[in-house]
Amino acid sequence: MMMSDENGAAPEAGKETGGKETGGREFAPRPKRRDVHGWVVLDKPVGMTSTHAVSVVKRAFSAKKAGHAGTLDPLASGLLPIALGEATKTVPFVMDGRKAYQFTVAWGSQTDTDDTEGKVVATSEARPEEAAIAALLPRFTGTIQQVPPKFSAIKIAGERAYDLARDGEEVTLEARPVEITALRIVTHSPETTTFEAECGKGTYVRAIARDLGLALGCLGHVAHLRRTRVGPFAVEDAVSVETLREGPEAAASALRPVATALSLIPEIVIHRDAALRLKRGQSILLRGRDAPIEAQAVYTTCGGVLIATGAIEQGEFVPHRVFNL
């Protein structure tokens, strides 16, 4: 997760409290950072990096702490969930969730980045028929072995693959298992085909386009990519950058509760005494005829307030992350 935190450094003279800089030039005071907790489901535009998107959201709320749940390339648009404050503790639950994309493959050329940003490394005069593509799709669904793009964030001996590739070094990545739940054709033309895909963590859409092109014998790369779902969040519920910049009221209306990220795992309602124990980092025994005995991931609430996430072991709730809300 890309994180952005206040560092607590002493303010530079004349740059925090307003007034005049050396030379007499006036400037506006920097807004005071504050504790803000929740999720913002951003519809990231093409051309913006995920890090810049986090900065936009953080600035809109004057928030102390923010981070995103899964990088979205600058050339891609769509869903980028951004966590503020205590919501950053729930980021893994979102990143581990399933994702959905709509993407267009341009046939006839392969690039070194497997998208339009890279340079063309091979071309083909062949173009695939829709029937040939459809017949191939079952090979790309289920659990498959996928080699990530050379221009990816995967580390090789401590270095990012994209840094090595940009420096001209030979990058060799091993195939790894990924899960693609669904892959279907939306539209087709002689030059391009648009797909919808639903997949698990670690799947590269650019690799799907590359491998489809190679298997069809016509080569291909991603020309357009839009993420439409991440875990419990859907792009239909997303807010635009322009809306966030309209002002504090518009931004506040886009803030979702911290527990929104946990909607796909079970909730356990506990009483006040149990909540106080969890706040101290202590485990609690779950009582009652229907109390679960084992569970890998659950969360607890008291009076509608999120208390902790954790696991249930032999009827005991063991807190992993405790929230200060």
- Positions annotated as catalytic residues are 73
CA distance 220 to 215: 10
Any idea how long the chain is?
325
Own/partner pairs, 136-143, CB within 8 angstroms, 24+ separation:
136/212, 136/215, 136/216, 137/183, 137/184, 137/185, 139/215, 140/180, 140/183, 140/208, 140/211, 140/212, 141/180, 141/181, 141/182, 141/183, 142/179, 142/180, 143/177, 143/178, 143/179
The CA-atom distances, in angstroms, between 101 and each of 56, 222, 245 are 23, 12, 26
Alpha helices (H) along the chain: 50-61, 91-95, 130-136, 161-166, 205-216, 241-244, 248-253, 272-279
Q: Mind giving me the DSSP string for 43-87?
A: EEPTT--HHHHHHHHHHHHTBSEEEESS---TT-EEEEEEEEGGG
**CA separation for the pair 157, 282 (Å, rounded):** 39
Cβ pair 180, 201 in contact under 8 A:
no
Instruction: Give Cβ neighbours of residue 318 (< 8 Å, ≥ 6 apart).
Output: 283, 310, 311, 312
Rounded Cα distance between 143 and 26, Å, is 60
CA distance 268 to 317: 10
Supply φ then ψ for residue 247, to 5 degrees: 150, 175
